Amino acid sequence: MDGFQGRVHSLSKPAAEGGRMNHVLIIDDEADFGFFVKKNLELNERYAVAIATDGWTGLKMARETQPDVILLDIMMPQMDGIEVLKQLRNQNISPKSAVIMLTARKDPESITSAIGLSSAMYVVKPIEMDILERKIDSLMKNREIENSIHTEFAGCLSAQPSVLDS
């Protein structure tokens, strides 16, 4: 084990001018990998990235920060990524966070477990950073579309008593 296990690493940056900062939480016991992804995502100043190097710390950070996206490794000591995902979903810890499983595991059981627990995507390491950014951007665009649809149709779904009484 490296000396980073259980530590929380985060740096806040201001959003790029006119843009919204997307908050990403990386939960991965490989600290070097987490720092690599963090550094690359923050280059374009659209992402604020935090890192948790174990599942327990990741759950705590997800509860406190409600990130837009969680990049979650499966193979971690003490609490693996599948258990973290179960906790996130079953305890409603971070209900609006999209979870991308980002892992070296490509066996059908791991993929089925993650999809069954509503992970948004399952990505096998290694991955090119530009592809990972596109996947995150795609999730964020889909979320914006869903939010605008909910907002647009929210008024249609609430019944007006005066209309129903006539």
Residue 160 has pLDDT above 60, yes or no: no
Domain annotation covers residue 3: no
Domain annotation covers residue 50: yes
- pTM of the model as a whole: 0.80
Domain range spanning residue 63? 8-165
Domain annotation covers residue 2: no
Domain annotation covers residue 23: yes
Tokens encoding 88: 């996130």
Residue 47 has pLDDT above 80, yes or no: yes
Domain annotation covers residue 33: yes
Domain annotation covers residue 17: yes
d(CA 66, CA 96): 7
N-to-C CA span, the chain: 71
In the chain, how many domains are there? 1
Residue type for position 131:
I
Q: Estimate to the nearest angstrom the gap between the alpha carbon of 19 and the chain centroid.
A: 19
Domain annotation covers residue 60: yes
Give me the CATH number covering residue 61.
3.40.50.2300
- Which tens digits make up the pLDDT trace of 100-130? 999 999 999 999 999 988 888 999 999 999 9
Domain annotation covers residue 75: yes
